[in-house]
């Protein structure tokens, strides 16, 4: 993790050097700065806000970003300052999730004077939970016959659903639990889920020894079934609030 952070700092310095006054904010967000990082290699998720995001203005940083991506890190999200301030009604889930867990690397804090509304959060959460469930269900049907592919699906999908679980906590007036197990228990209590359906995935991400999944493993079907319950709860809850 130390080497990873050193590479990230060098990357931030390179971006700042090439962008100069065009750089408004650069933050690190997500699992890398959360107190309960679940994987040995937490992704270095970056948000870059600039004054001018035209292709000509971003060309100086293209080699740096290309090298960053080749190291299997996600490309930075790039907003203009105007776009960022206009996105509160479109991305309230993402903005509040970043606000909760971020580290300012360069420039000004992008969350100053930025507010989101419960109504916008409600709309996005309803849409995102339903969409992610449809995607999960389709992918599950495709990979269920193969234990290795099923494992990858469960591990890859949990992070997205954790973001939605934190959004649900905020929507119902609670502070999201800071650790993954606590968040799952919090969501289970609110939505009537079985928290044990997520134990295998959390243990696997944490590096604990778990059984290898086989074709049509019950672990996978239970996981998907509980996500369906989550989507149903969100749908019913948001309809009551609308």
Query: pLDDT by residue (tens digit) across 176-204?
Result: 998 999 999 999 999 999 999 999 999 99
Query: pLDDT by residue (tens digit) across 143-159?
Result: 999 999 999 999 999 99
Cα–Cα distance measured from residue 149 to residue 144, given in angstroms and rounded to the nearest whole number: 7
Residue 101 has pLDDT above 80, yes or no: yes
Residue 241 has pLDDT above 90, yes or no: no
Contact 116, 92 (CB under 8 A): yes
Q: Apex CA 81: angle with CA 76 and CA 85, to 5°?
A: 105
Cα–Cα distance measured from residue 234 to residue 167, given in angstroms and rounded to the nearest whole number: 11
Helix (H) or strand (E) holding 9: helix 2-19
Compute the Cα dihedral for 93, 99, 105, 109 and give only its sign. positive
At residue 194, the pLDDT reads 98
């Amino acid at each position: 993790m130390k080497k990873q952070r050193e590479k990230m700092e060098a990357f931030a310095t390179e971006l700042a050097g090439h962008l100069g006054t065009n750089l408004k904010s650069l933050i690190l967000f997500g699992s890398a700065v959360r107190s309960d990082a679940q994987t040995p290699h937490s992704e270095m998720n970056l948000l870059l806000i600039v004054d001018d995001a035209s292709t000509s203005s971003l060309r100086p940083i293209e080699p740096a970003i290309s090298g960053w991506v080749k190291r299997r890190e996600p490309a930075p999200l790039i907003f203009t300052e105007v776009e960022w301030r206009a996105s509160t009604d479109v991305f309230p889930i993402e903005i509040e999730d970043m606000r909760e867990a971020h580290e300012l690397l360069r420039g000004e804090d992008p969350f100053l004077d930025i507010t989101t509304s419960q109504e916008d959060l409600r709309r996005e959460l309803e849409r995102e939970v339903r969409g992610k469930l449809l995607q999960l269900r389709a992918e599950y049907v495709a990979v269920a016959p193969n234990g290795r592919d099923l494992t990858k699906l469960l591990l890859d999908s949990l992070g997205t659903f954790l973001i939605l679980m934190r959004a649900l906590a905020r929507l119902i007036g609670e502070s999201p639990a800071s650790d993954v197990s606590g968040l799952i228990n919090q969501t289970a209590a609110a939505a009537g889920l079985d928290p044990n359906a997520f134990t295998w995935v959390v243990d696997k991400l944490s590096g604990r020894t778990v059984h290898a999944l086989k074709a049509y493993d019950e672990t996978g079907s239970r996981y998907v079934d509980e996500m369906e319950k989550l989507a149903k709860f969100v749908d019913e809850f948001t309809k009551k609030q609308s």
